[in-house]
Amino acid sequence: MSNILMNTSNMQCRAGLARGLVLATALAWAGHVGAANDKPVVPLVQQKATEAFWVGDFAALEKMNAAYQQPGPLEANARNRLDYFRTGVGKVFSYVAHSSEAYLSELDALTLQWARDNPQSAYAHILHARSLLAHAQSYRGTSYVKDVPPEAWAYYRRYVDQALAYLKQHIDLVSTDSSGHLLLLEIGRSLSWGQAQIEAIAEAGIARNPDDIELYFMVSFGLLPKWGGNQKVLDTYIRKVTAATSAKFGTGMYARLYADAMDNQFGAALFESSYADWDKMKQGYEDMLARYPDGSARRNSYAYVACIAKDKPTLQRLLGEIGAGFVANSWGVNPQRAFETCTKWAQQT
């Protein structure tokens, strides 16, 4: 990856611990409430990652990351534990605090202390760069570019540049962990890096960890038209990834990546606004469910896309399999109504 990109005192240690305790005090109540109200139950890996970050337990985070970076069998729903782990850590970075600037500055300081305390830890450096990027994203927000105040862009770019500079400074270590590649992809999208460079970073990450398929999703996300890509380039990449992952997923990645594109841009106009092919998506869903049968969310997604594709026989079959197992986040932006209308249409003769 370097070719693609151009000991502390006792007082410092106590300061780092104090920051962890302050963070834990500020977030413990919110964290416990969130866990109690999660439906379905938050996977244990995700919950433990969040809790370790809440209390400032970097040693636990380091141990979990090392374990989940190792290739191994996927869960019955085709997700890997590294994915759940990242989601759990991400909840701390995305926490909505009363004072975002104070909270994110505290995270920057805490993760920097961890990196200084553990200078040979790739993950410690990645966490600090991730904190700087989260700080940047707090100014960018999740809305369209036109909705971002002009004054916010200077702060956004400042923290993005800091995150990139920090990763470059520790590139030899960071490049040993595929999470470093994932973070570089996110930064690269923000800075409009070229597709060849982006794909090279992803391929280097896959070489490090063949199970880290989130790298593929990050690349395809950046190829959406709203990020400056286009439908043809996206389709070419999805077909390329599908072929590269066929031994493990069959044609499953075709369905997964296009479903992700549907969620992030095309919506119910997927087949009108992109090169998505329903027959190929259908085969992809069948391949995934044959290999990873515990896919209630994926089966719901399959049913929703079948409805969009106007494939009534497939929708009828899937609704029978789903029964009472409705998964809201698989049915678009208005899930309850989408499920109801698709069910009514399936019942029409």
Q: Is residue 124 part of a domain?
A: yes
**pLDDT band at residue 19 using 50, 70 and 90 as cut-offs:** low
Query: For the chain, where are the alpha helices, taking DSSP H only?
Result: 10-37, 44-54, 58-68, 81-93, 100-117, 122-140, 150-169, 171-174, 178-190, 195-208, 214-222, 231-244, 246-249, 252-261, 270-273, 278-291, 296-308, 312-322, 335-347
Q: How many domains does the chain have?
A: 1
Q: Is residue 304 part of a domain?
A: no
Distance CA 274, CA 309 (A): 13
Q: How many CB atoms lie within 10 A of CB 7?
A: 7
pLDDT average, residue stretch 236-258: 97
Regarding pTM above 0.75, the answer is: yes
Per the model's pLDDT, the better-predicted residue between 87 and 17 turns out to be 87
Q: Specify the pLDDT at position 298.
A: 94
Q: Specify the pLDDT at position 14.
A: 40
Q: Is residue 68 part of a domain?
A: yes
Q: Specify the pLDDT at position 78.
A: 84
Q: Specify the pLDDT at position 146.
A: 77
pLDDT average, residue stretch 227-240: 96
Distance CA 226, CA 168 (A): 28
pLDDT average, residue stretch 20-30: 48
Domain range holding 110? 1-191
Q: Is residue 177 part of a domain?
A: yes
Q: Is residue 237 part of a domain?
A: no
Q: Specify the pLDDT at position 31.
A: 44
Q: Is residue 274 part of a domain?
A: no
Q: Is residue 209 part of a domain?
A: no
Q: Is residue 243 part of a domain?
A: no
